[in-house]
Structure 1
Amino acid sequence: MDLLDLKIFKQLYIQCNISAVSRFLYLSQPTISYRLNKLQQELNITLYAYDGEYHFTPQGKVFYEYCERILRDHDELVTRLEGMNDFTVNLSTVATYLYLEPIYKLLHEKGLFPRIHTCRSDEAIRNIIDHQADVAIVGGVNMELPRHIDVIPLKDERIVLVYHQSLSHDIRKIPLVIDQKDSGIHAVVLNYLEQFEQVNIVAEMGTTADRLALINHEPLGLFINETYLKDIQDRYPHIVISDTYQIHRNILLLAGESSRYGDIIHTLIEKLNNLSPSH
């Protein structure tokens, strides 16, 4: 039994079609049949029955689970060995704005090859869970995390309502444009709005810059990260910043407890926590 046998059985379990397995693995059907029969003889168990359709035995179902686990661990091992000097960081949009430069500088100084990817918060978190990134920095977590993930607060962040100057300062009377569902603050804003008896959400759309340009001309409002506030007075003269409707949340760093870069991650946390407030 070797890795190819595991790959063959995994694909047979998933696709239930030997022709599809043959095409997927670029193997002849006789080769696949031979290796499956030999595998069952070696294990001395029946993994499946075939009567025009494949029916997997309880032993076959357990064997599939272990095939999946072993092949996943093998792929992870190969990836790690191939990239021992790589350090992969996933950043949400606001984390990129805050931390891209200091992260790059630190990793470069440590002799690592930084792979820094800006993505949605949920994607960044999922990549940490799936061991596809060494560090993720996001604005809050809206999913259950496994125990092996460390979560370290870096800084407190405000999410602030801004709106066109023609509107009254009453959130119930402000037509709101909110972030798309895959953004980091979508769920945060919706949870905050639940406290008000009546709000009027009129659209869900694109980037922060696009939304700000829209409400600079239209009677609308939206919630934005405080990191964008310093640009508003100069670039968007018709937008008012609310000092009442604000949400507070933490910018969080996520890393696996068993990361091979524990010392680097500790140094990175110290550096990011010691950045000046104006950074």
Structure 2
Amino acid sequence: MEYKDWIILKTVTEEKNVTKAAERLYLSQPALSYRLKNMEKELGTTILVRTANGVSLTPQGEYLLAYADEMLQRFTQLKERIQDMDNKVQGTLRLGCSAVIAHYELPSILKDFLASYPDVEVSVKTGMSQKINRLLQKDEISVAILRGEFPWNEEKHLLLNEPVCLVSSQPIELEELPYKPRIIAQTDGPLQAMFEEWWRQNFNKPPKVTMELDSMETCRQMVCHGLGWAILPAIGVSSHHELYSKPLYWKDGQPLCRPTWLLCTHSALELSAVRAFVEHVKRVFKSV
């Protein structure tokens, strides 16, 4: 099997449809089917079966997929090590970033970084912090910027520890909150649990939730138009002076805070592109 066969198998498994996989790989459907049949012929076994929902892997195919994933990771690491042998900052930076940080901070970070290190090729994946953490654990990214607390025993740097705020279009007292419409933005489990615990400490009735939205930006826009109040990290409201915002506190007087961390493995730091990016990000957030 060749490198492109691993890519084919992984893509077909993700799409669960040969035609869609062929489109994604810029191949014709007959050409892709021919490659899959040759793989089965070479291995002497069936690796895919057609079902009502598309295609699925046989047990042999599942085993082969695990091998393909391992080979793709090893090949990526091989390329990174070879590119790093020259005495300059180059190679590939595989970055995973929280969607919120990607929206507010990452574009300027990457622009300045690539201006300083134009020989670095950047691959970026964004999403909820739990997703980014899984990508780091699976070694699909070499650097993670994520929000919240995650167990990690290797390289770890605190970038931000921002307050969590009550946000509304007009001043509002805490005692009014149960009776006013609340707007909720989709977030990850740990932050949602923080909100819920804070609410339980302060009120004995549930909030009056009127909107459940898929992004912090949409939530902020609804609040700006006076449609309700929300609880948001400061990063989402700090530049919007038209909003009323007030940091929240636990019963013991400690502020509610949302940390942002940079995580990577010690081995990833051996790569010049990773080292340069980590130092660049630390400088950026030190000046915030």
Q: Does 1:178 align with 2:187?
A: no
TM-score (norm: length of structure 2) = 0.63
Contact 1:122 1:184 (8 Å CA) reproduced? no
How big is the shift at 1:270?
Answer: 3.5
Q: Quick one: structure 1 residues 75 and 277, their matched pair in 2 at CA, closer, same or farther if it must change by over 3 Å?
A: closer
Cα distance in 1 between the residues matched to 2:285 and 2:266: 28
Contact 1:91 1:121 (8 Å CA) reproduced? yes
Q: Does 1:157 align with 2:167?
A: no
Q: Quick one: structure 1 residues 71 and 29, their matched pair in 2 at CA, closer, same or farther if it must change by over 3 Å?
A: closer
Aligned to 1:216: 224
- Taking only the aligned residue pairs, the percentage that are identical comes to 15
Q: Quick one: structure 1 residues 206 and 66, their matched pair in 2 at CA, closer, same or farther if it must change by over 3 Å?
A: closer
AA of the residue aligned to 1:242: K
Cα distance in 2 between the residues matched to 1:100 and 1:260: 22
Aligned to 1:98: 105
How big is the shift at 1:74?
Answer: 1.0
Aligned to 2:173: 168
Q: Quick one: structure 1 residues 24 and 183, their matched pair in 2 at CA, closer, same or farther if it must change by over 3 Å?
A: farther
Aligned length: 235
User: In angstroms, what is the RMSD of aligned CA positions?
Assistant: 4.1
Contact 1:179 1:185 (8 Å CA) reproduced? no
Aligned to 1:198: 205
Q: Does 1:229 align with 2:237?
A: yes
TM-score (norm: length of structure 1) = 0.64
Segments of 5+ residues of structure 2 without an aligned counterpart are 14-32, 46-58, 84-90, 250-254
Cα distance in 1 between the residues matched to 2:285 and 2:41: 64
Cα distance in 2 between the residues matched to 1:167 and 1:176: 12
Aligned to 1:77: 74
Cα distance in 2 between the residues matched to 1:30 and 1:104: 45
Segments of 5+ residues of structure 1 without an aligned counterpart are 15-22, 37-60
1:274 to 237, 260, 283: 283
Q: Quick one: structure 1 residues 187 and 257, their matched pair in 2 at CA, closer, same or farther if it must change by over 3 Å?
A: farther
Aligned to 2:244: 240
Q: Find the structure with the greater CA-based Rg.
A: 1
Cα distance in 1 between the residues matched to 2:63 and 2:37: 22
